[in-house]
Structure 1
């Protein structure tokens, strides 16, 4: 009897525990459902503690996207290759122009500006603005006679073009002035070389005329392209040269062209002088290495030696000067053998002492000159070059 009652109590206790477990399970399920329903009505954003505390709903901050870097321009990439504060990336623009930018140096003359070609057109130079390029504004035209000027380490040059007909109609004859020695004596020097010595006062007045009249000063590569008929040069152009690199040139005349920013070429006999250029406006080019002396027949070695000997001499001269481009024939002596030696050495131009002007089609290895003698005034020069 006692055992039976105890068994009934145990069964009853189990039923109570079972009912409690069932109630707890149902409660948990109801709570979970309510939470889920609340989350669905509020959206995925969580409510932070501040919002819960204040009772003011807020949205979660939207992540800021990482900006895509702006690609560098060709000029900017070029500038990134140098730490030179005076470096200037010069870009080229214009109809038919597809040229990479070049590094130039601010305050130094432009080096090796390109001379583009186009079928049926003639290149007419580089200009700082589109308007100048269209008008071919002579005073604005930029070449290797000018100092590099930049804004923000960059500059854009615009191409000017003209027609072959307009180029021919210009009928430009380019004078190459040939000076030798200089004197401070207004009355000149005595001796058989008297005519070679220009009075320095006359030289300064002549350079002032060229500067103030706005003459265009072509580079030698421009002169070569002009001869080929693929570059327009205005009539108002002149090339200034000095033969021998005499001490009077270095001491008296070179400072004048430097002060006036006039591009000049000094033809150097490199067996006699190997000093660097006296200033940034003087190009040093070859007057041969050791051929400025008489050969077997009393004339210069350039018409006595064979083409290979001439070429070897010019190669030696070019190594010292760091440039080929143009040679001035000693004493003005040259012949076909001379020309062949010049070609073998890789020179493109040869300057004589024959009078005349360089025109389209002129023999590149027989360039004529305007000789400047003692006693020539600025008015005499104007008569020769305008």
Structure 2
């Protein structure tokens, strides 16, 4: 009797082990979603080379990238679909990508829009509110108008890049230096123009105060400039993105969208960007923008 009991006991253990192993191996691979961010589009390779910037991509390269996504059956997620994924309310296909654009340059419409429309893709442009309604100076970029945000909604949705805090003061993003009242006032102004629950941090800079304001305004997602993939554990207020530029090779692009790029940034709930790290980053971005302004002027 004792022998039978021991045999039965070990049989149960063996069966449980085999079932558990099957369950482990049967678990689906973690979904990794790349969020791409573009800025300024050049009409051809020569113009892009003249800019020599880390935020420019020529439109021929862009079309090649979009064609690759289309031919390989990638799903282009909307902001709402990405948000629902993070809430656990939606399971996207493994081959999913999000397309974003920062600053709101006019060539997002004149150059990128026809290509996105051709492939029936959606994208989100994070606009600087002040530039939607103000005249551009002769040595500045040409930005989208408020009318553009109403006209091109068949392809684009529009998020916030602040109203007037996409600026640097002493090499540091103004958003990190402003007091809470100024930040709130800026957000109110921008929401009067762009009533969107999606936000991109200017220069990728943020701190706990900014996140607190975003929460109070019921923003759903906020995008950084950290490299990395969005997973089910990503903080909605610290969404990483891959910057795509003229320096991004096609092979690199393919690796990024297929989840094969080294995942540099892994979300840590205790992690917050330090001002010291941001100052180095923003100085680089400032130099890039100055180069572009000189080329345009």
Provide TM-score, normalisation by structure 2. Answer: 0.68
Distance 1:167 1:262, change over 3 A: farther
Coordinate RMSD, CA, aligned: 2.1
2:283 alignment partner in structure 1: none
1:272 alignment partner in structure 2: 131
Residue 165 of structure 2 contacts residue 174 of structure 2 at CA under 8 Å; is this kept in 1?
Answer: yes
1:351 aligns with 2:210: no
Structure 1 unaligned residues grouped into runs of 5+: 1-164
1:336 aligns with 2:196: no
Query: For 1:340 and 1:168, how far apart are their aligned partners in 2?
Result: 36
**CA shift at 1:170, angstroms?**
3.5
CA displacement, residues 1-29 of structure 1 (integer Å, 9 cap, x when unaligned):
xxxxxxxxxxxxxxxxxxxxxxxxxxxxx
1:174 alignment partner in structure 2: 33
Superposed, 1:93-112 pairs within 5 Å as: none
1:320 aligns with 2:179: no
2:4 alignment partner in structure 1: none
Structure with the greater relative contact order (CA < 8 A, sep ≥ 6): 1 or 2? 2
**CA shift at 1:259, angstroms?**
2.1
Query: For 1:214 and 1:358, how far apart are their aligned partners in 2?
Result: 19
1:302 aligns with 2:175: yes
> Paired residue for 1:292, among 145, 166, 184?
166
Who wins on radius of gyration, i.e. which is larger? 1
**CA shift at 1:180, angstroms?**
0.5
Q: How many residues align?
A: 219
CA displacement, residues 26-46 of structure 1 (integer Å, 9 cap, x when unaligned):
xxxxxxxxxxxxxxxxxxxxx
Residue 78 of structure 2 contacts residue 123 of structure 2 at CA under 8 Å; is this kept in 1?
Answer: no
1:365 alignment partner in structure 2: 237
Query: For 2:163 and 2:147, how far apart are their aligned partners in 1?
Result: 14
SS in 2 for 1:267: strand
Residue 303 of structure 1 contacts residue 333 of structure 1 at CA under 8 Å; is this kept in 2?
Answer: yes
Provide TM-score, normalisation by structure 1. Answer: 0.53
SS in 2 for 1:246: coil
Residue 32 of structure 2 contacts residue 231 of structure 2 at CA under 8 Å; is this kept in 1?
Answer: yes
2:76 alignment partner in structure 1: 217
Superposed, 1:230-249 pairs within 5 Å as: 230-249=89-108
Distance 1:168 1:308, change over 3 A: farther
**CA shift at 1:372, angstroms?**
0.3
Query: For 2:112 and 2:37, how far apart are their aligned partners in 1?
Result: 13
Residue 79 of structure 2 contacts residue 124 of structure 2 at CA under 8 Å; is this kept in 1?
Answer: no
CA displacement, residues 116-175 of structure 1 (integer Å, 9 cap, x when unaligned):
xxxxxxxxxxxxxxxxxxxxxxxxxxxxxxxxxxxxxxxxxxxxxxxxx99972411111
Distance 1:199 1:166, change over 3 A: farther
**CA shift at 1:243, angstroms?**
0.7
Superposed, 1:103-142 pairs within 5 Å as: none
**CA shift at 1:246, angstroms?**
1.0
SS in 2 for 1:334: coil
Distance 1:299 1:219, change over 3 A: same
> Paired residue for 1:283, among 128, 150, 157?
157
> Paired residue for 1:374, among 223, 237, 246?
246
Query: For 1:317 and 1:303, how far apart are their aligned partners in 2?
Result: 18
